[in-house]
Amino acid sequence: MIAQATYQMTAVNKTKRPGFRVTTIYAVLLVVFASAGALFAGTPSQQAWDMLRAGINDKNSGTRTQAVHALGLLPHDPEATEMVEAALKDPNQEVRVAAATALGEMGAKEAIPVLKKSLSDTKPGVVLAAARSLQLLDDPSGSEFFGELLVGERKPEGRVSQELDTLNTKRVVEFGVEQGLGFLPFANTGYSALKAVRTDAASTSRALAARELAKDADPRFNHVLVQAATSDKSWLVRSSALLAIAKRENPEFLNAIVPALSDENQVVRYTAAAAVIRLARVAMPTKEG
């Protein structure tokens, strides 16, 4: 291709029409660069990272929340941890809740200092998520927070105190579902997933079943999970199946879930992106020996 482009450029240089020469050279270069772009197109893992990096910086807070949740599937990854830590400073409280939750799931002990700072956040959801993650990271400040809150020794000031005393039912359910189920992708500040849980019992049951299979390495369930991740009618089931596949860490199913990167649902796409990165990392051969 490049040799052909060089030949065409040499031939054009012999013409006596400068305008034609410049136009033709420009056209040839476009063909060369386009071909090179196709030749060196990103791997599924690179595409997944690009998707998550774009999501974490998106103007829409719901999109940022989804991206942060997905990053929670990437433990011990410096870039993922750094992005999630930065999200603790996001102006939107749901993004901060997602970030505080994800850091605990990621086992990010290096994030303990920033999580402790989040215990002073102005939103109770962020405070509770940070305390829970500190517990998961075996930092005593998490349990101390809940203990003080239980016996009334912890006295948050101002608006936080009022909100902790008057949390409305919707927020309690949202936070309970999010914390009780661990990773549950919430779209648009959590309400669409909450609505799905409330109104679609069948899909919720299948989604929970898929999540439970993350704990079982029995190969009999591999095909079932891939089928659910790529073709189930419910986005909640597809995302939950992808979560399970990621946690089972079987790299044989990496190619099978790549199509989910183009899923019509954004939550599923972000979950797929994190799953692809995680499986690609497992599939990478070690350089030791």
CB 160 within 8 A of CB 127: yes
Please say whether the beta carbons of 174 and 188 come within 8 A: no
Same domain membership, residue 176 and residue 127? yes
Tokens encoding 50: 């690009």
Residues 95 and 166 in one domain: yes
Same domain, 189 and 289: yes
Residue of higher predicted confidence among 150 and 259:
259
Statement to judge: residues 14 and 157 lie in one domain: no
Over the stretch 62-91, which tens digit does the pLDDT of each residue have?
999 999 999 999 999 999 999 999 999 999
The last residue of a domain, from among 119, 149, 181: 181
> What pLDDT shows up at residue 190?
45
Q: Do 117 and 173 share a domain, yes or no?
A: yes
* Domain-terminating residue out of 155, 181, 207: 181
Give the model's confidence band at 262: pLDDT under 50 very low, under 70 low, under 90 confident, else very high.
Answer: very high
Res 254: pLDDT: 94
What are the structure tokens assigned to 253, written together? 């199913």
Whether 231 shows a pLDDT value over 80: the answer reads yes
Q: What is the pLDDT of residues 113-170, one digit of tens each?
A: 999 999 989 888 888 889 889 988 999 888 887 767 655 555 544 444 444 443 333 4
- Domain of 118 in residue numbering reads as 77-181
Residue 175 has pLDDT above 60, yes or no: no
pTM of the model: 0.70
Portion of the chain with pLDDT greater than 70, in percent: 65
Q: Are residues 61 and 197 in the same domain?
A: yes
Domain count, the chain: 3
| Residue 212: band (very low, low, confident or very high) from pLDDT cuts 50, 70, 90 | confident
Helices 2-13 and 18-39: crossing angle, nearest 10°? 180
Domain with 97 in it: what CATH number? 1.25.10.10
Overall residue count recorded for the chain in this entry: 289
Final residue of a domain: which of 181, 213, 238?
A: 181
Same domain, 193 and 289: yes
pLDDT at residue 112 greater than cutoff 90: yes
